[in-house]
Amino acid sequence: MTSFLKRNNNGLLLLLVALNLGMLALLLWPKPPLPQGPEGGPNPRMHHLFREKLNLSSEQATAFEAAMQKHRAVSIPELQKVRAMKQDLIRSMAGEHPDTDKTTQLIQKIAQQHAAIDSLLVIHYQELKAICTPEQQVELEAIFMKSFDRRNGRRKSKKR
Residue 40: predicted pLDDT: 46
54: buried, middle or exposed (CB in 10 Å: 19+, 13-18, 0-12)? buried
pTM above 0.85, yes or no: no
Is residue 65, in this structure, part of any structural domain at all? yes
Residue 109: predicted pLDDT: 93
The answer on 136 and 102 residing in a single domain is: yes
Is residue 160, in this structure, part of any structural domain at all? no
The answer on 64 and 25 residing in a single domain is: no
The answer on 23 and 52 residing in a single domain is: no
Kindly report the backbone phi and psi dihedral angles of residue 33, in degrees, each rounded to the nearest multiple of 5, phi listed first: -65, 160
The answer on 74 and 143 residing in a single domain is: yes
Half-sphere exposure of 86 (CA within 13 A, CB side): 17
Is residue 146, in this structure, part of any structural domain at all? yes
Q: What is the DSSP string of 68-125?
A: HHHHHHHHHHHHHHHHHHHHHHHHHHHSSS--HHHHHHHHHHHHHHHHHHHHHHHHHH
Residue 111: predicted pLDDT: 93
The answer on 129 and 86 residing in a single domain is: yes
pLDDT (tens, 9 = 90+) of the chain, 160 residues, equals: 566 556 677 777 777 788 878 777 777 777 665 555 444 455 566 667 778 888 888 899 889 889 989 999 999 999 999 999 999 888 888 878 888 888 899 899 999 999 999 999 999 999 999 999 999 999 999 888 887 777 666 655 544 4
The answer on 43 and 122 residing in a single domain is: yes
Structural domain containing residue 84: 39-151
The answer on 50 and 24 residing in a single domain is: no
Is residue 158, in this structure, part of any structural domain at all? no
The answer on 15 and 52 residing in a single domain is: no
The answer on 72 and 25 residing in a single domain is: no
